[in-house]
Amino acid sequence: MRHFFSYLIPFSILFWSVVAVTSDYYEQLNLKPLPQSNLLASFNFRSNTSLSQFEAHNFRYFPRSLGQILQHVGTRELHLRFSLGRWDAESWGARPWDGTKEGGTGVELWAWLEAETDEEADQKWLSLTNALSGLFCASLNFIDETRTTRPVMSFQPEGNHPNSTLANMQLLHGVLPREVVCTENLTPFLKLLPCKGKAGISTLLDGHKLFDASWQSMAIDIRPVCASGEECVLQIDQAIDMVLDIERSKRPRDNPIPRPAPGHELKCNSSKPYHSGDTCFPTDFIEGQDWALDQVFGKAIKGACPLTDQNAPPVCIQVPHSRDIYTTAGATEIKNPNGFSRCYQIPSDADFSFILPHISREGEHAGTSADEIVEPATPLLYAERSFTGHGYERGGVRTILTNPSPDTEVEFVYMESLPWFMRIYLHTLKTQIDGEWRSSQDVIEEIYYRPALDRVRGTQLELRMRIPPASTVFLTYDFEKSILRYTEYPPDANRGFDVAAAVITILPSNSPNAPIERQKTSNLRTTTLLLSLPTPDFSMPYNVIIFTSTAIALAFGGLYNILIRRFVGADEAPKVSVGGLKGKIIAGIMKLAGKLKGAKGKVE
C-alpha cells in the first residue's frame, strides 16, 4: 500500500501544475527526504504564451532571447538537458518526473525542426546548436554530424502538433558526454525566468549548493500545448533537480572543512553489546536528520514571486503528516488528503523557511523511519552498463537490465549513440536471461541499426525489448577500436574518450488494469563509459624535431665555417698592435716576468 501512495504523491502535487497550464507563469519547489540523509529538491518553472502572440513577436513571460532562436531556425519542439552525477536507484528509488526531465551525463539536446529535406534539417540543426551554445555558455557548437543521430523509436513529440506540421518535422538528437556543467550554465538558465532569481523559489538556486550535490539535472522543454476549447499556447518548462547530502549542506560556507564531532555529539547505536562511555558504534543515519530550509540552501526564500499563479502553492514537501514542521510567520499550510505531503502558501513581502526537528528513536514516544520519510517508490527497471575485455584492439559492452516487478513484464526501447571509432559487430549481439543464453528473438522484438562511417557519423543502435517479470537480462556485444590520427586526440588523450549514456524509454502498458506508473512513458539513462584507445607517444615528434634540428645545426655550422673562414700562415698574418689598458697590463706582466727571469739567472 505504501508503494501505491508513493506513486500517488507526485500526481497529487502536480495537480497544481495541471491547473497552471492555462496560467501565464507558475513555479513550485518539491522537497522529498531520501534515505541515508539525502534530500531531493525539484524546482519547476513554467511559462506560457499564445502562439498568435509568439508569432507576432510579443513576449511577456516567454524569454525573448530563446524565442527568437526558435523562430529563426524553425524549431517546433525542443528539449535540452544539463546533467552531472549518478542517480542511485537502489537507495533513492524511482527518478523524479519519471525520468522525463533527466539527461545523460554532460549535455543532451534533441529537437523537432521543420524542414523538407535532410540537408535543410542539418543546416538548421547547425544554426540551432551554435545559437544555444552562445546563449547557455556551453560547447553545444561541438555537436557536429559525428555526434548527431536521428532516433526512430526512442523519442516521440510531447506537444500537440497539427498533421500538416508533423509531415515536415524531423527529429535530430545530439549529446556531449564530456561537457562539464558549471555555474556558467546556471546563470543564463536563471535569466530566462521572469523573476530572474530575485524573488520566489529561484532565490535558493546557488551554484555552490547546486554543483555540490550528489546528482543534479537542469532541463528545458519547449512544446506547443492545446487545451480543449482554448487557444494553443507555447509552453516552456524549466526544471532543476538535485540530491543534496544534508550533513554536508549544513556546513557553513565560511568553514566548509569537515571536522570530527565532539564526543558528546556523536550518534551511537546503544543496541551494540560493547556500547559504553568510551566505545561508540556510529548509527550511520539510522537516527535521521534535523534540518532547516535556510540551513540546507544557505538562505531563505525571498518571498513569493509576484508574477506566479496565486492559486498554486510555491513550496511542497513529501513527509508523513505525523512529522512536525515549524514554519516562519505568515505561511499557510495545505495538507494533502493522502497523508504523505503538504504544501505552503508563502507571503510575497517576507522571507520563508521551515524547520524539521529531530525524531528520537528511543524513549516512550520513539519514532520510526516511517514517521520521518516516505518510502521511495521501486523503479520500473534497473540498468547498468560497463565495458568488458582487455587490450587496445577489441572490447565489449555488457548491459544488465533488471525487472523488479514480480508479476508484470516491462517493454522498452534501448538506444545507444556510439562514436565512429567504436566499430561494433552486430552479429555478436547476444542476450542472457537469468544466467541462461537464449535466442535474441525471445527478448529483442525489433532492431534498428545504422552503421558508422569513419569521421562522418557515429553508430546508432535501437532495440525494442521485453523483459519477463522478476528477470534479469544481460545484453552483450563486441566492438573493435579504431586508431585515430594524432591530431584527433584531445589534450588529455590518456584519460580516455567519453561514450554517451544509453537512453531507455519505457513504453506504457496496454493493459487496462496496469498500475498508474505503467500507464505513461518514462525514461532513464545509464552512466557514461570511458573508452581507452591506442594512444601514440606524443613525445616522439618532439624528440624527432630536437634530433633533426641538432644534426642540421652541426652539419650546417661546420660547413659554413669551412666555406667562410680564411686560413693563412702565421708569418703572413698582420701584426696586431696592443694598446689600451689591456695592452698596458699585458706589457707590464711580460716586463715583470722578464725581470724575474733575469734575477733568477744572476742568482745561479
The span from the CA of 46 to the CA of 240, in Å, is: 12
The span from the CA of 499 to the CA of 284, in Å, is: 35
The span from the CA of 556 to the CA of 535, in Å, is: 36
- Asked if residues 222 and 157 have their Cβ atoms less than 8 Å apart, the reply is no
Half-sphere exposure of 102 (CA within 13 A, CB side): 28
| For residue 137, pLDDT beyond 50 | yes
Give the pLDDT confidence score for residue 3 in this predicted structure: 43
Give the pLDDT confidence score for residue 123 in this predicted structure: 96
| For residue 101, pLDDT beyond 50 | yes
* Of 241, 245, 236, nearest in space to 31 by CA: 241
| For residue 577, pLDDT beyond 60 | no
Measured over all CA atoms, what is the biggest interatomic distance in the chain, rounded to whole angstroms?
Answer: 135
Question: Is the pLDDT higher at 156 or at 285?
Answer: 156
| For residue 453, pLDDT beyond 90 | yes
Give the pLDDT confidence score for residue 254 in this predicted structure: 67
The span from the CA of 257 to the CA of 250, in Å, is: 12
pLDDT digits (tens, 9 = 90+) for 407-427: 889 999 999 999 999 999 999
- Asked if residues 301 and 348 have their Cβ atoms less than 8 Å apart, the reply is no
Q: Phi first, then psi: what are they for 593, rounded to 5°?
A: -65, -35
Q: How confident is the model at residue 486 (pLDDT cuts 50, 70, 90)?
A: confident
User: What is the rounded end-to-end Cα distance, in angstroms, of the chain?
Assistant: 127
Please provide the DSSP assignment of 109-148 as one string. EEEEEE-SSHHHHHHHHHHHHHHHHHHTTS-GGG--GGGE
Amino acid at 276: S
The secondary element (H helix, E strand) that includes residue 592 is helix 580-603
Q: Phi first, then psi: what are they for 285, rounded to 5°?
A: 70, 15
pLDDT digits (tens, 9 = 90+) for 288-328: 678 999 999 999 999 999 999 888 899 999 999 888 899 99
The span from the CA of 501 to the CA of 104, in Å, is: 5
Mean pLDDT, rounded, for 210-230: 92
HEC string of 374-398 equals CCCCCCCCEEEEEEECCCCCEEEEE
Q: Phi first, then psi: what are they for 448, rounded to 5°?
A: -120, 120
Q: How confident is the model at residue 14 (pLDDT cuts 50, 70, 90)?
A: very low
